[in-house]
Structure 1
Amino acid sequence: MASIAVQLVGFFLGQLGFAGTVVANLLPQWRSTAYMGSNLITATAYMKGLWMECVWHSTGIYQCELYRSLLALPRDLQAARALMVLSCVSSVLASLVAAMGMKCTHFAQHSVVKSPLALGGGVGFLCAGLLCLVTVSWTTNNVIMDFHDPFLPRGMNYEVGLAVYVGYASSFLSLTGGLLLCWSRISSRERSQGPLHMQTSQPSSSPVAFNNIYPPAPLYNPPEALKDNNAPSLCSLSSSGYRVNNYV
């Protein structure tokens, strides 16, 4: 029962991590900056994401534009796109495999592939969390390096946006869910094996088949002594020189 609860918690955390990864992938707030004019009316915020670039004005106007060319994008942005897509795909596959391998589902009941499927789902969530974590960590490092670059203009210095923090939370949720699924598989395997008991060696009896083919030998009975070899006694009867016990 405890293993089922652990699997449910791990699967639920993995689903939360997958949802957060999708949200972080679509949000444009990966890099953000703010420009303040002479008053708050001219305030403008610029945001750059993996798929679009947006501008927000203090007057309430919100404009976004998708990137038109994939090859014209920087290499770090292309790599971040690929890693986040792979993270989402890994989460989807992990969800399907983990759902089939959980003990609370009816798929492959009483089968040896049930536990390996749960373990595979846990490994899939771990891969998804690592891919998302690598992406947001790489983006954070690039933003910090560009912010402290003295050769960049002041208006081009972006800061870490909201989507990066969502990505961090999603990666940790996916990693935690994957670890719980893997731990439930290991703990259930240890309980199924149980403690090792020392067994004393006992003499094994011969198989029944051999007993039927070779029946046990009869008991040994010593042969009786021949009567002719008995020594004549004084009480033995005799008639005309012949002994009676010779004929008895």
Structure 2
Amino acid sequence: MVACERQLLGLALACIGLLGSIISCALPTWRILTAFENFTFITFLTGSKYNKMVEGLWKTCAILPTGQTQCTRYKDIPLPEDMKAARGLIIIAIIIEVLGILLGVAGRNFMNFVPDERQRSKMALTSGIAFLIAGFFVLIPVSWTTNNINDHFHPNDPKVVKKMELGAALYIGWFTTVLLFLGGGLVCSSFFRRNGTGLTFLFFK
């Protein structure tokens, strides 16, 4: 695969990664808490019985046995510290991804935003590095949240959750991390050429 094709494929993967980051950030299913009964975390459900609750970066929702969903935003209830950190990191990742995509598009040879070829190459290389950095900013919160998942949350109180599970947003986050690392790696690899003595770094071909 030639360098320009690697750049284009890496940029496409990063665009999909940006979409995944936005979806992961918006979904309220980072953690799934099950086996609730008479739980008073959401005040308007005090005394009611339900067996599933989901937590996201922006709101938490209780799923009633009837299938109805009732949600509360974190401005009305305290935001857990790990969710607060995850929210900030994901938002930073999205901003970096947007900047990386803009740099990647401006650095493409068929674009004339920057007439100097060497400057375009530097912009394209910077976009690849940005995708790698964004991948770490997504990896940290999903790994942190995954590490905090356990099945013995408040084990001595039968009225509080008995089980924690991974939500769909975390799986999307893992997939997004892979896409960003692949995209950034492909873009950066297009600036290396193999010769008789090894790999040579290129700013432009």
| TM-score, normalised by the number of residues in structure 2 | 0.80
Q: Determine the structure 2 residue equivalent to 1:104.
A: 110
Give structure 1 stretches of 5+ with no counterpart.
194-248
Q: Determine the structure 1 residue equivalent to 2:46.
A: none
Q: 1:110 to 1:20 in 2, by over 3 A?
A: same
Contact 1:118 1:185 in 2 (8 A): no
3-state SS of paired residue (2:149): helix
Distance 2:65 2:190 in 1: 51
Aligned amino acid, residue 13 of structure 1: L
User: How many angstroms does 1:124 deviate by?
Assistant: 0.6
Contact 1:4 1:104 in 2 (8 A): no
Contact 2:50 2:62 in 1 (8 A): no
Distance 1:7 1:59 in 2: 50
User: How many angstroms does 1:64 deviate by?
Assistant: 1.5
3-state SS of paired residue (1:163): helix
3-state SS of paired residue (2:70): strand
Q: Determine the structure 1 residue equivalent to 2:9.
A: 9
Contact 2:11 2:183 in 1 (8 A): yes
1:55 counterpart (62, 69, 91): 62
Aligned amino acid, residue 173 of structure 1: L
Aligned amino acid, residue 170 of structure 1: T
Distance 1:128 1:159 in 2: 25
Q: 1:101 to 1:78 in 2, by over 3 A?
A: same
Q: Which has the higher contact order (CA 8 A, sep 6+)?
A: 2
Q: Determine the structure 1 residue equivalent to 2:20.
A: 20
Distance 2:16 2:146 in 1: 22
**Aligned positions, number:** 186
Determine if the alignment matches structure 1 residue 175 to structure 2 residue 199: no
Q: Determine the structure 1 residue equivalent to 2:72.
A: 65
Contact 1:20 1:166 in 2 (8 A): yes
User: How many angstroms does 1:58 deviate by?
Assistant: 3.9
Q: Determine the structure 2 residue equivalent to 1:215.
A: none
Q: Determine the structure 1 residue equivalent to 2:191.
A: 185
Superposed CA offset, 1:93-131 (max 9, x none) = 111111111223233244321111011000111111111
Distance 1:113 1:27 in 2: 38
Superposed CA offset, 1:3-60 (max 9, x none) = 22111100000011110011011111111033389xxxx8642101111001223423
Q: Determine the structure 2 residue equivalent to 1:81.
A: 87
Distance 1:80 1:11 in 2: 25
Distance 1:105 1:59 in 2: 55
- Structure with higher Rg: it is 1
Q: Determine the structure 2 residue equivalent to 1:222.
A: none
Distance 2:80 2:73 in 1: 15
Q: CA RMSD in A?
A: 2.7
Distance 2:107 2:65 in 1: 51
Distance 1:185 1:64 in 2: 48
User: How many angstroms does 1:78 deviate by?
Assistant: 1.3
Give structure 2 stretches of 5+ with no counterpart.
38-48
Distance 1:152 1:102 in 2: 59
| TM-score, normalised by the number of residues in structure 1 | 0.67
Q: Identity of aligned pairs, percent?
A: 32
Q: 1:96 to 1:137 in 2, by over 3 A?
A: same
